[in-house]
Amino acid sequence: EQRVQGVLITPIDDASQRLSQLRDRGVRVVLLDRRSAEADLCSVSVDDRLGGELAMRHLVESGHRRIAFVGGPHRLEQVRDRYQGAIQALTDAGLDEENLRRYDTPALTVAAGRDAAARILGQPRGSRATAVFCANDLLALGVLQVLTRQQVRVPDEIALVGYDDIDFAAAAAVPLSSVRQPRQRLGQTAAGLLLDEANKPETHEHQQVVFEPELVVRESSQRILTEE
Distance CA 54, CA 179 (A): 8
pLDDT for residue 56: 98
Tell me what the pLDDT averaged over the chain comes to.
Answer: 92
**CA gap 12, 72 in Å, rounded:** 12
pLDDT digits (tens, 9 = 90+) for 183-224: 999 999 999 999 999 899 899 999 999 999 999 999 999 865
Instruction: Say what the pTM is.
Output: 0.90
On whether the CB atoms of residues 8 and 30 are closer than 8 A, the answer is yes
Residues 6+ apart with CB under 8 A from 1: none
Determine the pLDDT at residue 14: 64
Kindly indicate the confidence band of residue 227, based on its pLDDT and cuts at 50, 70 and 90.
very low
Residue 111 pLDDT level (bands cut at 50, 70, 90): very high
29 phi/psi in degrees, rounded to 5: -130, 135
Beta strands at 131-134 and 42-46: parallel, antiparallel or unpaired: unpaired
Give the tens place of pLDDT for each residue, 40-92.
Answer: 889 999 999 999 999 999 999 999 999 999 999 999 989 999 999 999 999 99
